[in-house]
Amino acid sequence: MSPTPVYTVGNAKVARVTDCEIDAFTLSDLLPDWGDAHVPLLDRLPMTVSADCQRIVLSIHSCVVWLGCVVWLGGKIILIDTGAGNGKSRPFAPYFDQLSTPYLARLKALGVTPEAVDYVLHTHLHVDHVGWNTRLIDRRWAPTFPNARYLFSAKEYAFFRDPANSDNRHRTSFQTQQDSVTPIVEAGLADMIIVDGQEWIPGFSFHSTPGHSADHASIVLESAGAKALFSGDVFHHPVQVMAPHLLSIFDPERETTLTSRIWALDFAVDEGAMLFSAHFAASSAGMVSKRDGEYSWTFALQ
Ligand SMILES: [Zn+2]
């Protein structure tokens, strides 16, 4: 396995911590408007689809951020989203059911123990973004990062507290709250925030990018004049950078999602921000550029 790339954003370092990869969806499963006209876009993205170009490869991962100097001089370690987690019962999402991945070993290989994590930041509270919040200890779901504050949207949390929202589409997310979010709240480790663009911890602001979930946030890191955008599920595949209208089956609010996506693309272009996607395969990170009204994507080198 090749070494994990570590990217520099101002005085911060960023690396991906892989939980798993899934290829559960064909292109047209995930992107209902997918058509022959889009096929040439894949020529530049061969590592993001299966060998027969029929199935999309989705990476499920966290990003770890080292902010500032070394820890004993005030530096912080931040995780953004926490993958799907091990040993969790997901009967309605079989690709996340009873996983057993070396996520924590991968984190440790980067020099990060669970106890060293200062903050866990969430773009939203879906099954593949909160799983490693907890792990099974003595048959109870205990916080994986016991010394961290976990920050997420109060509005998103409230959505999953309301039984009126517990329909078929949200059944896995509701189940997820029980083993991966509620234990964090009960342990007193949660800081529920308002997603309105403000900075909740030094260097990190939460920006409203609704459409995919009840109160989806894109997280911006700013350090020494450089910026990075952690876009959560505003995108699932890099073809959506080049063809932003290709919404996924997980984006129920079509116009809202598209508006959020264009905001994220323009932010990345205008600010020169490296974009850390939540699900792109390959390096998951890259740069967006815009020419003659068309966006394009370039993966950061491995
Ligand atoms: Zn996701």
How remote is the CA of residue 154 from the centroid of ligand 1, in Å?
19
Residue 134 CA to ligand 1 centre (angstroms): 17
Q: Across residues 161-181, what is the average pLDDT? A: 93
Task: Kindly tell me if the per-residue pLDDT of 228 is higher than 70.
Answer: yes
Q: Measured in angstroms, how far is the CA atom of residue 252 from the centroid of ligand 1?
A: 14
The superfamily in CATH containing domain 6-299 is Ribonuclease Z/Hydroxyacylglutathione hydrolase-like (3.60.15.10)
Phi and psi of 204, rounded to 5°?
-125, 125
Please tell me whether residue 261 adopts helix, strand or coil conformation: helix
Strand order in the sheet with 204-208: 199-201, 204-208, 217-223, 226-230, 274-276, 285-291, 294-299
Please report, in angstroms and rounded to a whole number, the separation of the first and last CA atoms in the chain.
12
Residue 1 has pLDDT above 70, yes or no: no
For residue 51, the CA-to-ligand 1 centroid distance in Å is 23
Q: What DSSP string describes 197-237?
A: S-EEETTEEEEE--SSSTT-EEEEEEETTEEEEE-GGG-SS
**68 pLDDT tier (thresholds 50, 70, 90):** confident
In tens, the pLDDT along 12-33 reads: 999 999 999 999 899 999 999 9
Do 2 and 30 form a contact (C-beta atoms < 8 A)?
no
Residue 252 carries which side chain, given as an amino acid letter? Answer: P
Question: Does the pLDDT at position 71 exceed 70?
Answer: no
* Percent of the chain clearing pLDDT 90 (strictly above): 86
Task: Tell how far the Cα of 224 is from the centroid of ligand 1, in angstroms.
Answer: 29
Within 13 A of 149's CA, how many CA atoms are on the CB side?
Answer: 8
- Ligand 1 centroid vs 129 CA: distance in angstroms? 6
For the cut 70, the answer to whether the pLDDT of residue 119 exceeds it is yes
| Cα-to-centroid distance, 302 and ligand 1 (Å) | 22
Question: 126 CA to middle of ligand 1, Å?
Answer: 7
Structure-token pair, residue 135:
């792990």
Where in the chain are the domains? 6-299
pLDDT band at 168 (very low <50, low <70, confident <90, very high): confident
Other Cβ atoms less than 10 A from the Cβ of 29: the count is 14
Query: What stretch of H or E contains 264?
Result: helix 254-271
